Amino acid sequence: MFYYLGSGQSRREPFKKIVSLCPSAKFPALIISVGILLRLTEYPYNRSLWLEEAWLALEIVKRTITELLKGFGLAPFGFLAIEKALIFVFGNNEDALRLLPLLTGIASPFLFYHRARKSLRGMLR
């Protein structure tokens, strides 16, 4: 259902309806936990790298940090530098290359939930 400003309803009504669908305050924690569990269960399967991932991994492994600083346009320098550090610490393997995406994939639902609560706080009152 679409809500228009001229429909006579407050702009807060759609958000209140969405929040009322959540059975309890623990519902977001359950959803985040399931997401993290799914991420962690995929990590040990060690699936093959896709073509773009393999090319990027090869570039990270063979270049020095200063060569990565010059960049080659596929990824931000911060990502490349952290990946290079992880390879240095954990060795040249796919698990080390997948560790940063795993950690950011686990952190992102928490950050999204925090930001959504902060953004929607005024809309739900």
For the chain, the residue count is 125
Q: Delimit the domains of the chain by residue range.
A: 49-125
Close Cβ partners of 13 (under 8 Å, ≥ 6 residues apart): 3
34, amino acid identity: V
Q: Are 9 and 3 in contact (CB under 8 A)?
A: yes
Angle between helices 94-120 and 77-90 (to 10 degrees): 130
Q: pLDDT tens digits, residue range 54-83?
A: 898 998 999 888 888 887 777 888 999 999
Three-state DSSP state, 49: coil
Q: pLDDT tens digits, residue range 14-48?
A: 656 666 666 666 788 888 998 899 989 988 887 88
**Joined tokens for residue 61:** 């492994």
**Joined tokens for residue 29:** 């924690």
Is pLDDT larger for residue 124 or for residue 74? Answer: 74
Q: Which helix (H) or strand (E) is 15 found in, with range?
A: helix 13-21
What is the pTM assigned to this prediction?
A: 0.72
